[in-house]
Amino acid sequence: MSDLSVTLIQSSLHWEDTDANLKIFDEKIDSIKEKTEIVMLPEMFSTGFSMHPEILAETMDGKTIQWMRATASKKKIILTGSIIIEENGQYFNRLIWMLPNGQFAFYDKRHLFAYAEEHQHYTAGNKKLMAQVKGWKIYPVICYDLRFPVWLRQPPEEEERYDLLICVANWPASRSDAWDVLLRSRAIENQCFVAGINRSSTDGNHIYYNGRSAIVDPEGKVIIRKDKDESMIQYTLQKDTITDTRKRFPFLQDADHFTIQLKSWTK
């Protein structure tokens, strides 16, 4: 399998201002000079982590989707991040996986952050998204999902296992120690690369984010991490690293078989 080049854009966000956010990401993506195949943006990158979906939500043919389609096509990249979507009278914190040809897939955040009353405003998803790029299996999730290892656990069947876990987030600085540990834990237990992309600066609710976006290898070692300020991580992942780790430490073959029983939030 080929190596995979990824870019994580850690950025401050203009509070509930889609036009301003799309403009800054236009500039940041245009500044990428090295070859990259996947560009990752934070959770709710066009608005910040807002509980005002009735004001900010877009449709699946709205401004931000159109921007993602145009940007992915122009830069010949896969572009991903989550946005606020309205569909059939419900609101979703939805990750978009936009391909260069304009086709896309999506994932609705499964674990809604009740501590911030996210479950009072959004509908939880009930399906996983597994993408494939150059022979890599990639599993994207959103922020709070990172705390729930059962939802992220590798399947016991070898042919269904993923190679890269992507977590797009608005993870506050007050809990950054947990963020660091959870990124490493998910890498260790699933023997995969983990890419965690977080925002920086302070949002409209006066919550401070200190970034700490990172790439972690399949043994849980932090390859690269960016603290606090706006920054960009560009890195090429090597598939041999996964193959070698799983061969030397064949722990996944001893994993338990299990099923997940889904429940829905009651609004």
pLDDT tens, residue by residue, 166-179: 999 999 999 999 99
Name the band, by pLDDT with cuts 50, 70 and 90, for residue 241.
very high
Flag whether pLDDT at 259 surpasses 90: no
pLDDT, tens digit, 9 for 90 and up, residues 184-232: 999 999 999 999 999 999 999 999 999 999 999 999 999 999 998 899 9
**C-alpha span between 190 and 242 (Å, rounded):** 10
Flag whether pLDDT at 10 surpasses 80: yes
Flag whether pLDDT at 54 surpasses 60: yes
Q: What is the pLDDT of residue 128?
A: 97
Q: What is the pLDDT of residue 267?
A: 46
Name the band, by pLDDT with cuts 50, 70 and 90, for residue 85.
very high
**C-alpha span between 115 and 125 (Å, rounded):** 18
Flag whether pLDDT at 1 surpasses 70: no
List, as own/partner pairs, every contact residues 68-71 make where C-beta atoms lie below 8 angstroms and the sequence separation is at least 24, other chains included: 68/96, 68/98, 68/104, 69/98, 69/102, 69/104, 71/25, 71/26, 71/29, 71/98
Query: In CATH, which of 3.60.110.10, 1.10.600.10, 3.40.50.2300, 3.40.640.10 is domain 4-250?
Result: 3.60.110.10
Q: What is the mean pLDDT of the chain?
A: 96
Known catalytic residues are 43, 109, 143
C-beta separation of 169 from 179 below 8 A: yes
C-beta separation of 16 from 54 below 8 A: no
Q: Which of 97, 19, 87 has the alpha carbon at shortest distance from 53? A: 87
pTM for this structure? 0.97
State what percent of residues in the chain have pLDDT above 70. 98
- Which amino acid does the sequence have at 25? F
In Å, how far are 59, 89, 111, 210 from 262, measured between CA atoms?
A: 26, 22, 11, 33
Domain ranges of the chain: 4-250
Name the band, by pLDDT with cuts 50, 70 and 90, for residue 155.
confident
Name the band, by pLDDT with cuts 50, 70 and 90, for residue 265.
low
What average pLDDT score do residues 68-77 get? 98
Which token pair is 57? 């939500």
Flag whether pLDDT at 246 surpasses 50: yes
Q: What is the pLDDT of residue 82?
A: 99
What average pLDDT score do residues 6-26 get? 98
Flag whether pLDDT at 261 surpasses 90: no
